[in-house]
Amino acid sequence: MNQIAADATAPASAKTATAATPAAPPPGAPDATTTIDGHVLPPFPQKFGGDIQLNAAQSKPFWPARVVPPKDAPNILLILIDDEGFGAPSTFGGVIPTPELDKVAAAGLRYTNFHTTSLCSPTRAALITGRNHHSVGFGVISEQSTGFPGYNSIIGKDSATIGRILLENGYRTSWYGKDHNVPTFAASQAGPFDQWPTGMGFQHFYGFVGGDSSQWQPNLFNDTTAIYPYIGHPTWNLITAMADDAIHWVNQLNDIDPSMPFLLYYAPGATHAPHHPTPEWVEKVSAMHLFDDGWNKLRDTIFANQKKLGVIPQDAKLTPWPHDLLKNWDELTDEERKLFIRQADVYAAYLAYTDHEIGRVIQAVKDLGKLDNTLIIYINGDNGASAEGSPNGTPSEMMAFNGVTLPVKEQMKWYDVWGTDQTYNHYAVPWAWAFDTPFKWTKQIPSFFGGTRNGVVVSWPDRIKDKGGVRDQFHHVIDVVPTILEATGIPAPNMVDGIAQKPIEGVSMVYSFDQANAPTPHKTQYFEMMGVQGLYNDGWMLSAVPKRPPWELFGTAIQDPATAFTFELYDVRHDWTQNTDVAAQNPQKVKEMTDQMFGEFARYQVLPLDASVATRLVAPRPNLTAGRRVFNYGGLPMTGLPTSAAPNLLNTSYTITAEVDVPKEADGVVVKQGGRFGGYGLYFLKGKPTFTWNLLDLKRVKWQGPDALAPGKHTIVYDFKYDGLGFATLAFNNISGLGRPGSGTLSVDGKIVATQKLDRTIPLTLPVDETFDIGSATGTPVDDSDYQIPFAFTGKIDKLNITVEPPVLTEDDKKKLLEGMQAAQDAK
């Protein structure tokens, strides 16, 4: 195989030296470089071309040439915003100012017919591999993975990422912000790290692992090491911190070797919930009064702006407001309007703030003189705007994920702190629908463009000459990798680490840089998410009508998604927004496309279809605690373990036993999981043993000893008896076992000191960005009135033991649950 250029010389263009251009280093010189054909990675070792005799003085050294990309290959700045609807940024008609994105668009192209998968992890897996999300194991987010090839959240060794490909071809690579592609069972400090950015070709990672994170107290990693830079710095915010680190990385690389090209993958947590801008940005955006007229008029304004900008056709129709699902603005009370405007202001501030910080990164590249030969691909959303905050919004996303919807009146106590670290906030659903203007539906829905259409801006000053141009060819997120490969002149490898590679499934967009009206080579694209299905084919869109609105996260699943949906058909050549269903006039087309869609499903590992949603969060999957009932910890401080590496104390009976040696008036955390928005903690307050359950920031229940313990050794036991059938009912498509009551007792040295009953418990999940900590605490406190982070234990933990006793279904229980499931099916 022709892996290395035969003489390991520089490219031919470098050989024609002039007086102003030094000759290329000869083969074997310490500074010799080469390009590789790239079909097999890593390349075979280069042949030694020197001469070896008995003595060095009579021998000739020969150094392997350093691998470099093809001549003039651009730097790559790949930017991905989270949960941003097509109509949110000013660049695509929105009212939220994104001046930095506007600048990139003015220097390049706006793509108006680009699609994502409708959900976070799946889009991100497709983005970095160039393959469909099911092809690389990400049919859903990693927290919902199941044991099927299309859904196991494992990017196979047969699907090398763009990071790995460019790294082997001489690039330096980094990943910033959100990484939602680590399997939950590999997300702890125990690894393995092959599915982390540093294991997939990205040499440096600065960000968080998981679906979302506080921007004030994130679950943050520097490569694979947990770090806590926010401690002692109350104004610290990740949106700025990651820009600072990226700027440092680019400048450091340039100082070391200015000729070395880079791939910088920049994926901030914005604008996924929680919406955490700085107060200055909230004040600045609130003063603009962007949302005072409400969501209905906002849609009209965005729609008019989009036509002025030319990012939608002049004959496009604004899809109707879904009044059967969502209220009109004029139906709201004054208090509701006040809260909802605040929610939108904070969200807009978050987007504007993020755009500003991205602009700093771009400016750093410009200051180095490298912007002209930098390909910027700036994707505005990994799916449509999020409708996961309930019709009223929520001060804490964890409430919505656990089926809790708060009325506006109860939410108002968070009004003044909305967007601070006292909230894990999300706006009301109607704002999401408005930010997806002119389309229907939102995030999670793959069959309508409100869930999948995201604006993209591409800039490359040295190459793209149609400055400010608009491109409306159909494209998909799997097209980004082949675009980067064609732009750099690097081929997709056939073999990586001895493993044959799956073909790249996307197509390059480079043809469109010069050809505004060229037809797209991307003719067919399937869509599927949580059972909802769709197919684009050569200008037609087959769309399953959702049976569950995306804000209904907690409930039973459709058992027969392959046959449960009705389909609409849209001629999107002439109906840009999917406004007019023509299925009734084209029954044969519907049948043909349905058959074709299931053929695509079989081809790309989409089967079996699964319509479960939040309950899939607790589906059985590999993790470090799977099958374990007893957990023994030696007592050394240990912080930052993710949920997947911690005992699950939801919907079960359990006992926590701590053998401790305390000083006078001991303080500090013995064990804690979760934080301000839900979780539990066993800790000491001035010598008093205390156990607290934080029930989603709605209520805190506390067990506490009446007296401070005398110095010395003591045994503290918290025992909880759960009154319900637990997670086992989910096997029968029944959620009745979740969130049931229970009774807890706190004992000291064998004597009960406190007993209380919980009327309800947390049914499904603790905060996704909080961790399991022993001997100290990270993230946020379970009760701010009791302590602040890190609250290290001033005593010594000799032993910590946690045992869980999940409920066991009796045969009678199983019979009743089975009858209930069958009755529900018959009722349909």
Indicate whether 412 pLDDT > 70: yes
Q: Encode 7-48 in three state secondary structure.
A: CCCCCHHHCCCCCCCCCCCCCCCCCCEECECCCEECCCCCCC
Residue 192, preceding peptide bond in cis (omega within 30° of 0): yes
- pLDDT tens column, 283-330: 999 999 999 999 999 999 999 999 999 999 999 999 999 999 999 999
What are the structure tokens assigned to 477, written together?
């997120």
Q: Which residues pair with 716 in a beta bridge?
A: 658, 748
Strands 678-685, 688-695: pairing kind:
antiparallel
Residue of higher predicted confidence among 488 and 556: 488
CB 542 within 8 A of CB 565: no
Q: Give the strand order in the sheet containing 225-227.
A: 225-227, 220-222, 204-209, 172-179, 262-267, 75-80, 374-379, 456-459, 109-111, 469-471
Calculate the CA 243 to chain-centre distance: 18
| Rounded Cα distance, 490 and 768, in Å | 38
Q: Which residues pair with 395 in a beta bridge?
A: none
| 3 state DSSP class of 806 | coil
- pLDDT tens column, 728-761: 998 888 999 999 999 999 999 999 999 999 999 9
| Rounded Cα distance, 708 and 712, in Å | 12
CB neighbour list of residue 708: distance below 8 Å, 6 or more residues apart: 664, 665, 666, 686, 687, 688
Looking up tokens 């209380």, which residue turns up? Answer: 756
Provide the residue count of the chain. Answer: 828
Residue of higher predicted confidence among 694 and 21: 694
Indicate whether 76 pLDDT > 90: yes
Other C-beta atoms closer than 10 Å to the C-beta of 537 total 17
Indicate whether 11 pLDDT > 80: no
Position 828 confidence tier, pLDDT thresholds 50, 70, 90: low
Position 617 confidence tier, pLDDT thresholds 50, 70, 90: confident
CB 370 within 8 A of CB 73: no
- pLDDT tens column, 426-451: 999 999 999 999 999 999 999 999 99
The pLDDT assigned to 21 comes to: 59
- pLDDT tens column, 567-577: 999 999 999 99
Residue of higher predicted confidence among 476 and 828: 476
The pLDDT assigned to 9 comes to: 35
Q: Encode 281-325 in three state secondary structure.
A: HHHHHHCCCCCCCHHHHHHHHHHHHHHHHCCCCCCCCCCCCCCCC
CB 718 within 8 A of CB 734: no
The pLDDT assigned to 822 comes to: 80
Indicate whether 5 pLDDT > 80: no
Average per-residue pLDDT in the chain?
95
Query: Can you tell me the mean pLDDT for 391-419?
Result: 96
The pLDDT assigned to 478 comes to: 99
CB 730 within 8 A of CB 559: no
Query: Can you tell me the mean pLDDT for 446-472?
Result: 98
- What φ, ψ does residue 586 adopt, rounded to 5°? -135, 60
| Rounded Cα distance, 41 and 36, in Å | 10
Q: Which amino acid is at 649?
A: L
Percent of the chain with pLDDT over 90: 91
The pLDDT assigned to 518 comes to: 98
| Rounded Cα distance, 217 and 159, in Å | 34
